[in-house]
Structure 1
Amino acid sequence: MLIYKQFTFDSAHFLPNVPEGHKCANMHGHTYALSVFVEGHPDEKTGWIIDYGDLKMHIKPIIEILDHHLLNEIPGLENPTSEILTIWLWDKLKPLIPELKRIELKETPTSGVIYEGS
C-alpha cells in the first residue's frame, strides 16, 4: 500500500547550463508541489503505515531549506533543474524515512519529475 502527503514551497532559480538565450537562464520562480509516497502495510495496532504528523516532521526542515530561497545558492543545487532537485530531495529524505518509495515534484501544474531512487 502507498500513502502520500503533499507539500508546497516557493523558490527562485536560474539554469546556468542552458543554451544562450534560453528563458530559464534568467532568474525566475516556481511554486513547487512535492508529493512524498511511503510504502508499507498498516500496523496492526495503529492501522497506519506511518503517522502523517511524523512524515511532516521529517520533511518540514528540508522544505525550510528551499522555501523562499535561491536554489542555486544551496550546496548541490548549483544547476537546479527539476531532475537534480528531485534527486537532492530524495537523498535528504530517504535516510529519514526508510519506507520512502517515491517522490513526485511538480515545477508547474503540467511539468514534473517522479523518482523512485536509484
Structure 2
Amino acid sequence: MIIYKSFTFDSAHFLPNVPPHHKCRNMHGHTYHLTVYFEGEVTSPEGWVLDFALIKNAVKPIVDQLDHTILNEVPGLENPTAENLAVWIWKSINGKLDGLKKIELKETPTSGVIYEGK
C-alpha cells in the first residue's frame, strides 16, 4: 500500500545557468506543493502503513527550512531547479522513516517533478 502526505511552502529563487534573457534567470517565487509517498504493509494492531504524525514530524522541519527563503542561499541548492530541489528534499527525508517511495514537487499547478531516488 502507498500512503502520502502533502505540504506547501513559499520560496524565491533564480536559475543562474539558463541563458541571459531567460525569464527564470531573474529572482522570482513559487508556492511549492510537496507530496511525499511511503510504501509498506498495513501493520497490526494500528491498521496503518505509517503514522501520518511521524511523516509530518520528519518532513515539516525540512519544509520549514525552505519556507520563505531564497533557495539559492540554501547549501547544496545553488542551482535550484525543480529537479535539483526534489533531489535535495529526497536526500533530506530519506533515512528518517522507512518506506520512502517517491516525492512529487509542483512548482506551479501545471509543472513539477516526480523523483523516486534514482
Alignment TM-score, normalising by the size of structure 1: 0.98
Q: Which residue pairs with 1:28 in the alignment?
A: 28
Please show how residues 90-101 of structure 1 align to structure 2 within 5 Å: 90-101=90-101
Aligned partner of 1:55: which letter? I
Q: Which residue pairs with 1:41 in the alignment?
A: 41
Structure 1 segments (4+ residues) deviating >3 Å: none
Aligned partner of 1:77: which letter? L
- Give ranges in structure 1 of 5+ residues lacking alignment: none
Post-superposition CA distance 1:64-115 (Å, at most 9, x none) = 1100000000000000000000000000001112210010000000000001
Q: Which residue pairs with 2:19 in the alignment?
A: 19
Q: Which residue pairs with 1:104 in the alignment?
A: 104
Q: How many residues align?
A: 118
Separation in 2, partners of 1:89, 1:56 = 14
Separation in 1, partners of 2:96, 2:54 = 10
Aligned partner of 1:57: which letter? N
Q: What is the deviation of 1:20?
A: 1.1
- Give ranges in structure 2 of 5+ residues lacking alignment: none
Separation in 1, partners of 2:28, 2:116 = 27
CA RMSD of aligned residues (A): 0.5
Alignment TM-score, normalising by the size of structure 2: 0.98
